[in-house]
């Protein structure tokens, strides 16, 4: 081992010994310093007294509080039917224009009835002779020249002929498609010359949209509160804006849906101008009760705490708690029965961060 190497090893050993002596002292000082800093930071009220929380507030005023049932639904036509012929044949004429109004009884389309018309003409040609036979037999019967049986046989043949005529007329009527009610006829799905089969070939859809129906569902717990004659408000978008429309309940389903535990309800709206079309989505509101001069606060301002309900008021730049007694709850507000008065400044934001006496600054006052 050279002299230079020996010197390096000796130096390293000396430095190691010095480090072992100094490190415990340095560590104890560091720990003590950190503990002192933690004690300073955790001192009760030290930060709270310096911190100022920015909040939103609301000055309480008496107002009308409405308890509502909210739901969603759809608009339905008052009447709707798929138009089809009762018999089969070739379409020989279409008398309606798509998308127009038609009246009940209007002839809309017709299939070929020439064979039936010929049959009707043949039967009607036999009527005069059949009548004459009945007349002659009746005259002879009065003179006892023929038997009762002979007269009844002729009379029966006449009645049978008239029944055959009525049957052919009924078959001819089935070749005509007529509107069953007033409404708007939709797009046709057949053309003249097409062969259609009985009831399976839909010619067009006829829809009556004035009045209009609104169908929606309510929770089973409200079943006893909605009945025939109840008023509802349904809301829909029109021209980019939401509009409210009033409708009247006319029917309630007889049983609760076991899958959804809801009850289907239908209301009717006049829709005089036919501005609302069937099939649209709508929100529905039903007013259960209305409380005048109620003191109500936003739901987010209320803090349940140890079986009590607490709110925070803004007083002279600090937050002060107040215990309240609540009443009716709506979708976004809570009625206050006691604990607050009109004119109080209620803190409505950051309530979970508030502590008694904490300094606060109002960003927005409603």
**Same-domain check for residues 310 and 335:** yes
pLDDT on residue 38: 45
Q: What does the CA dihedral 289, 294, 300, 305 come to, rounded to 10 degrees?
A: -100
**Same-domain check for residues 123 and 192:** yes
pLDDT on residue 144: 85
**Same-domain check for residues 225 and 243:** yes
**Same-domain check for residues 151 and 228:** no
Q: Residue 178's beta-bridge partner residues?
A: 107
CB atoms within 10 A of CB 181: 15
Backbone angles phi, psi at 116, to 5 degrees: -70, -40
pLDDT on residue 121: 96
Query: Is residue 233 in some structural domain?
Result: yes
Question: 132-169 as b/e, with b when 16 or more CB fall inside 10 Å?
Answer: ebbeebeeebeeeebeeeebeebeeebeebeeebeebe
**Same-domain check for residues 191 and 255:** no
**Same-domain check for residues 238 and 181:** no
Query: Is residue 295 in some structural domain?
Result: no
pLDDT on residue 240: 83
pLDDT tens-digit series, residues 17-43: 666 665 556 555 554 454 444 434 444
The DSSP element (H or E) to which 65 belongs, if any, is strand 62-83
Average pLDDT value over all residues in the chain:
87
Q: Which of 290, 315, 341 is the last residue of a domain?
A: 290
Query: Is residue 321 in some structural domain?
Result: yes
Domain with residue 253: its CATH number is 2.40.30.170
**Same-domain check for residues 112 and 189:** yes
Token output for 122? 């043949």
Query: Is residue 198 in some structural domain?
Result: yes
Q: Residue 107's beta-bridge partner residues?
A: 178
Query: Is residue 338 in some structural domain?
Result: yes
pLDDT tens-digit series, residues 72-110: 999 999 999 999 999 999 999 999 999 999 999 999 999
CA 225/CA 365 separation, integer angstroms = 38
CB atoms within 10 A of CB 36: 9
Tokens 């003179």 correspond to what residue? 143
Q: Which of 170, 187, 204 is the last residue of a domain?
A: 204
Residues 6+ apart with CB under 8 A from 214: 73, 74, 75, 76, 232, 234, 247, 266, 267, 268, 269, 282, 284
From the list 249, 258, 259, 260, the residue with the least C-alpha distance to 215 is: 249
Domain span at residue 327 reads: 50-60+302-365
pLDDT on residue 46: 43
Query: Is residue 161 in some structural domain?
Result: yes
Query: Is residue 297 in some structural domain?
Result: no
Token output for 72? 């969603």
**Same-domain check for residues 88 and 197:** yes
**Same-domain check for residues 85 and 73:** no
**Same-domain check for residues 279 and 327:** no
Number of domains in the chain: 4
**Same-domain check for residues 198 and 90:** yes
CA 243/CA 255 separation, integer angstroms = 32
pLDDT on residue 28: 55
Tokens 């004429």 correspond to what residue? 93
3 state SS for 289-339: EEEEEEEEEEHHHCEEECCEEEEEEEECCEEEEEEEEEEEECCCEEEEEEC
Q: Which of 245, 263, 290 is the last residue of a domain?
A: 290
- Predicted TM-score of the model (pTM): 0.66
pLDDT on residue 312: 94
Domain with residue 92: its CATH number is 2.40.50.100
Query: Is residue 296 in some structural domain?
Result: no
**Residues of the chain where predicted confidence (pLDDT) is lower than 50:** 31-32, 34-49
CA 55/CA 41 separation, integer angstroms = 25
**Same-domain check for residues 193 and 224:** no
CA 124/CA 154 separation, integer angstroms = 17
Q: Residue 184's beta-bridge partner residues?
A: 101, 207
């Amino acid at each position: 081992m050279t002299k230079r190497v020996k010197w390096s090893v000796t130096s390293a050993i000396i430095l190691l010994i010095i480090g072992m002596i100094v490190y415990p002292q340095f560590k104890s000082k560091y720990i003590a310093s950190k503990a002192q800093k933690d004690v300073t930071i955790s001192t009760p009220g030290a930060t709270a007294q310096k911190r100022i929380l920015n909040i939103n507030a609301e000055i309480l005023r008496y107002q009308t509080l409405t308890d509502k049932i909210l739901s969603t639904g759809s608009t339905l036509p008052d009447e709707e039917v798929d138009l089809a012929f009762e018999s089969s044949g070739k379409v020989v004429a279409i008398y309606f224009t798509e998308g127009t109004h038609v009246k009940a009884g209007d002839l809309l389309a017709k299939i070929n009835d020439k064979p039936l018309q010929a049959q009707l003409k043949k039967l009607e040609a036999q009527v005069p002779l059949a009548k004459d036979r009945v007349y002659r037999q009746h005259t002879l019967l009065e003179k006892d020249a023929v038997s009762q049986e002979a007269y009844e046989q002729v009379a029966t043949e006449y009645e049978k002929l008239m029944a055959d005529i009525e049957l052919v007329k009924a078959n001819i009527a089935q070749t005509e498609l007529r509107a069953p009610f007033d409404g708007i006829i939709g797009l046709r799905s057949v053309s003249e010359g097409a062969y259609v089969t009985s009831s399976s070939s839909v010619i067009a859809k006829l829809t009556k949209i004035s009045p209009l129906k609104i169908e929606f569902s309510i929770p089973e717990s409200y079943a006893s509160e909605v009945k025939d004659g109840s008023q509802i408000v349904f809301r829909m978008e029109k021209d980019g804006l939401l509009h409210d429309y009033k409708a009247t309940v006319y029917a309630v389903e007889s049983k609760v849906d076991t899958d959804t535990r809801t009850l289907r309800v239908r209301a009717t709206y006049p829709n005089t101008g036919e501005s609302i079309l069937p099939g649209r989505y709508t929100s529905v509101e039903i007013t259960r009760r209305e409380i005048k001069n109620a003191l109500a606060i936003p739901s987010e301002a209320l803090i349940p705490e140890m079986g009590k309900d607490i709110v925070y008021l803004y007083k002279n730049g600090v937050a002060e708690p107040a215990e309240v007694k609540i009443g009716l709850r709506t979708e976004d507000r809570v009625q206050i029965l006691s604990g607050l008065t009109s004119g109080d400044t209620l803190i409505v934001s950051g309530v979970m961060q508030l502590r008694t006496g904490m300094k606060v600054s109002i960003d927005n006052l409603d």
